[in-house]
Structure 1
Amino acid sequence: VWDQLNKMVKDKADNTNNRFGVGSEINRRLTGGPFPFWGCPPKDALTTLQPKRTREHGEGDLAEFRFADKAAKGAHSIWKLYYNGSVGGQAIVGIPAARRLRDARNARVWPFETGFKALTEADLDGVDVVIAEVYPSLLKAVPAPGEVKDLAQVRAQAEHFAKLDEAGKLGAVFAPGKDVPAEVVEAAQAEEGWILGA
């Protein structure tokens, strides 16, 4: 999936990108219609991508929410490409950027390449960067004067994980909670991923 998105996504220095076209093409390949991705400005609507969701997820469809999304209260659907909380658009553009970072540095992607477990120094021997998904709304962030909400959320996440790291507690955050079923751990490691701290 990462390789395919890397081929498809065009993300320019001026912050323009083709995420709606990519979502539309994936919909065409998966269902031939405007599903499962949805959400775009009306001017960008296509036969295979509509501004609003055209139907609910049903039996046999890809799930609307991953296990991690359900664990992170308030998370939006990965299929939502536009409007507030449009994590799908961020994922389409972000995954190729994360892939470039992974390829340029000695990096590992959690939990796909590290396992869904507490990470120790031995696990990270020779690793410079661990790439992990975050959900900024997991932490309450108060914007500083003149600071936009998104910036405050990113700052709060960075400060939170830096404090855990300084206290020697960050490695434990990469493990699933004690009540997470084995099949969820397997799905997170093999296909769905997970949200750090969820």
Structure 2
Amino acid sequence: MPRLFSAYVIVDWSAAAKPTTGADSIWIGVLKRDVRFRLAFESYNPATRAEAETRLTAILDDLRKRGERALLGFDFPLGFPRGFASALSLPGEEPWRATWDQLNKMVKDKADNTNNRFGVGSEINRRITGGPFPFWGCPPKDALTTLQPKRTRAHGPDDLPEFRHADLAAKGAASIWKLYYNGSVGGQAILGIPFVRRLKLARGEGFKAWPFETGFKPLTEAELDGVEVVAAEVYPSLLKVQPAAGEVKDLAQVRATAEHFARLDEQNKLGGLFGPPKDTAADVVLDAEREEGWILGAGA
């Protein structure tokens, strides 16, 4: 059985508001074949999201020229909790795509990393509840009537869920509603989804967002015929990673995650990970495919 992928590209994203490198910045890890056809790892640490987009585009263009299919992993959610698109009255039959389009309209992310992620969270709160909920978390200077530094209340039965099904399956994943502070992923998702959308638009049918466009099911070589890139959400904290002496933890995590998926692919076990964990309810599968997405390997 051949591998499903010949390259594994893992992106550790950042919502930083100014150019930054080192810890808590963007890291791109690439595990691909060298001239001797052995898997070799290389990494990049762009200071801004704009530089990261340029770099990642070049990486994917190079892999396309070489005829190599890539697994492209992002460490932020590609979808929001079920009911989000409906709560915003977004049009269309595909809630995930409507959400991507809406964020693309709202997000302003400049070349120097200045961005309006708190403004976007605040405006979505205004449209959904009229108050500082469900998004929360920002520096006090960025507080607004519809976005507060601290969480103002818990999620009730009539609210959008605090967590996606995948967050619960991953055990320990943060809620997308948290926009700031350690471990938050909300800001990364708001700024990251329009970025993934641009990558996809540039590549057309050769770029598939899992599980939205592939289905939440095991993937085979036949199903990936003609596909150059499969984009998936990854959660490096699912793996126990020990950085080398002096190595930035983010770099260690993208390397270990790329190596982990390459190893599973070598053992013909990676394709199965694209399907739901055993005994997953049908409504959970549908929520993942239509709106929430899933974390590759969560619950497996």
Q: TM-score, normalised by structure 2?
A: 0.64
Which one-letter code corresponds to 2:166 in the other structure? A
1:170-181 alignment, distance < 5 Å = 170-181=270-281
Match of 1:63 in 2: 161
Is the partner of 2:233 in helix, strand or coil? coil
Higher-RCO chain (CA-CA 8 Å, sequence separation at least 6) = 2
* Offset of residue 27 of structure 1: 0.6
Q: Distance in 1 between matches of 2:233 and 2:184?
A: 15
Instruction: Provide the alpha-carbon RMSD of the alignment.
Output: 1.2
Which one-letter code corresponds to 2:105 in the other structure? K
Structure 1: unaligned runs, 5 residues or longer: none
1:37-186 alignment, distance < 5 Å = 37-105=135-203, 106-186=206-286
More deviation, 31-40/151-160: 151-160
Is the partner of 1:126 in helix, strand or coil? coil
Bigger radius of gyration among the two: 2
Which one-letter code corresponds to 2:141 in the other structure? K
Q: Higher strand proportion, which one?
A: 2
* Offset of residue 139 of structure 1: 0.8
* Offset of residue 140 of structure 1: 1.1
* Offset of residue 168 of structure 1: 2.8
Q: Distance in 2 between matches of 1:149 and 1:115?
A: 33
Which one-letter code corresponds to 1:76 in the other structure? A
Which one-letter code corresponds to 2:270 in the other structure? L
Which one-letter code corresponds to 1:167 in the other structure? Q
* Offset of residue 125 of structure 1: 1.1
Q: Distance in 1 between matches of 2:281 and 2:263?
A: 29
Matched, 1:197 2:297: yes
Post-superposition, which runs of at least 4 consecutive aligned residues in structure 1 deviate over 6 A?
none
Is the partner of 1:32 in helix, strand or coil? coil
* Offset of residue 30 of structure 1: 0.7
* Offset of residue 157 of structure 1: 1.2
Q: Distance in 1 between matches of 2:258 and 2:140?
A: 35
More deviation, 48-57/16-25: 16-25
Q: Distance in 1 between matches of 2:117 and 2:214?
A: 28
Q: TM-score, normalised by structure 1?
A: 0.96
Q: Distance in 1 between matches of 2:117 and 2:198?
A: 17
Q: Distance in 1 between matches of 2:150 and 2:187?
A: 14
* Offset of residue 175 of structure 1: 0.7
* Offset of residue 147 of structure 1: 2.3
Instruction: Provide the identity percentage.
Output: 80
* Offset of residue 14 of structure 1: 2.5
Which one-letter code corresponds to 2:125 in the other structure? N
Q: Distance in 2 between matches of 1:173 and 1:115?
A: 12
Q: Distance in 1 between matches of 2:256 and 2:142?
A: 34
Structure 2: unaligned runs, 5 residues or longer: 1-98
* Offset of residue 181 of structure 1: 1.1
Is the partner of 2:208 in helix, strand or coil? strand
